[in-house]
Amino acid sequence: MILLADCGSTKVDWRVIEGKNEIKQVTTRGMNAILLTEQEMTDIIKAELVPAITGLDIKEVYFYGAGCLFDYICANVRRAIKANIPSTEKIEVSTDLLAAARALLGDKPGIACIIGTGANSCYYDGEKIAENVSPLGYILGDEGSGAVLGKLLVGDVLKHQLPEHVCQKFLKEYDMNLQKIIEGVYKKPAANRFLASFAPFFQNNMDEPGIHRIILNAFKSFFVRNVENYKDYKKVPVSFVGSVAYHNAAVLREAARPLDITVGKVEKSPMPGLIEYHTK
């Protein structure tokens, strides 16, 4: 049996696979490997995962997580897993970007992107990530992400760049005002997640020209500042995973057309593609 993990800061989606069949799905607390110690991750796995998989003969674990960027961080994750699942013979810890590439492209070359709370991209040669334009986070980059869309939206609302009925609708729907927004961005932790929580407003109000303009221009910026840096970006498909890309796929394709970029797959989660990749 193999165990797959799609790990984010909010939750970890675990799947146990035997042959080509999924036999168990478990959700645990998120584990940001940069922020948590090895012991903290060990404790989460022991308390929340182990009881659900007791008795299963797991031999391989493939763990994909945001923040799994450096060898020492990946080593911490591997040890936390091994301490709880001693039957494992192989533990591979990789970034969420490799998860996106494998899920979207399999063993074919192309450009794989993530657009969710944050945004990232890479050129995948069919085996590994060959190039990566640094996303830089929502302050310096992350174009098109939920955090950046939220930032642009609240800025336009508070500076009255959108029609008044749109501004009032937003403030009422989210029970927001200037004070709450300023505190959420500048005083409270996880400002990126706070801003990204407004992303659904786009898909629900796309008939408003100002809302459509914000997201269209943000996606165009993602293509220009990220995708166009990769070789052959006009010759290979550009595929996406992530909730913001998935729920706004029509606008994503609209932004790509004038740039002669071909959008391939657009998936909400990498897990179905990862299951296919690891069970071929």
Alpha carbon distance 96, 18 (integer Å): 23
Does some domain include residue 278?
no
Residue 278: how many other CB atoms lie within 10 Å: 17
Res 27 pLDDT > 80: yes
pTM score, two decimals? Answer: 0.86
pLDDT of residue 192: 87
CATH code of residue 47: 3.30.420.40
Residues 255 and 143 in one domain: yes
Q: What is the mean pLDDT of residues 81-109?
A: 93
Residues 37 and 156 in one domain: no
Does some domain include residue 98?
no
Residues 138-161 as b or e (16 or more Cβ within 10 Å = b): beebbbbbbbbbbbbbbebbbeee
- Residues 103-151: pLDDT tens digits? 999 999 999 999 988 899 999 999 999 999 988 888 898 899 999 999 9
Domain count, the chain: 2
Alpha carbon distance 4, 99 (integer Å): 10
What distances in angstroms separate CA 40 from CA 13, 34, 81, 94, 126, one per listed residue?
Answer: 18, 12, 12, 19, 34
Does some domain include residue 103?
no
Q: Is 266 exposed, middle or buried (0-12, 13-18, 19+ CB in 10 A)?
A: buried
Domain that holds residue 63: 2-88
DSSP classification of residue 46: I
Residues 78 and 202 in one domain: no
Res 66 pLDDT > 90: no
Q: What is the mean pLDDT of residues 87-110?
A: 94
Residues 25 and 118 in one domain: no
Could you tell me how far CA 44 lies from the centroid of its own chain? 21
- The alpha carbon dihedral of 123, 241, 99, 135 has a sign of positive
Residues 26 and 160 in one domain: no
* pLDDT, averaged across the chain: 92
Q: Which residues contact 33 (CB under 8 A, 6 or more apart)?
A: 7, 41, 65, 67, 68, 73, 74, 76, 77
User: Which of residues 33 and 259 earns the better pLDDT score?
Assistant: 259
User: Which of residues 9 and 170 earns the better pLDDT score?
Assistant: 170
Does some domain include residue 93?
no
pLDDT of residue 180: 94
For 231-266, the DSSP string reads TTTTTS-EEEESHHHHHTHHHHHHHHGGGT--EEEE
Residues 238 and 127 in one domain: yes
Could you give the residue ranges of the DSSP H alpha helices within 54-190?
Answer: 71-84, 96-105, 137-140, 146-158, 164-173, 178-186
Residues 245 and 123 in one domain: yes
pLDDT of residue 55: 87
What is the C-alpha radius of gyration for the chain, rounded to an integer number of angstroms? Answer: 20
Could you tell me how far CA 161 lies from the centroid of its own chain? 29
- Residues 180-228: pLDDT tens digits? 999 999 998 888 889 999 999 998 999 999 999 999 999 999 999 999 9
Residues 21 and 116 in one domain: no
Residues 115 and 247 in one domain: yes
Residues 46-70 as b or e (16 or more Cβ within 10 Å = b): eebbeeebeeeebeebbbbbbbbee
Residues 104-125 as b or e (16 or more Cβ within 10 Å = b): bbeeebbbbbbbbbbbbbbbbe
Counting runs of H as helices and runs of E as strands, what totals does the chain give?
A: 14, 10
The torsion region of residue 180 among left (phi > 0), alpha (psi -120 to 50) and beta comes to: alpha
Res 232 pLDDT > 90: no
Considering the chain, what percentage of its residues have pLDDT values greater than 90? 78
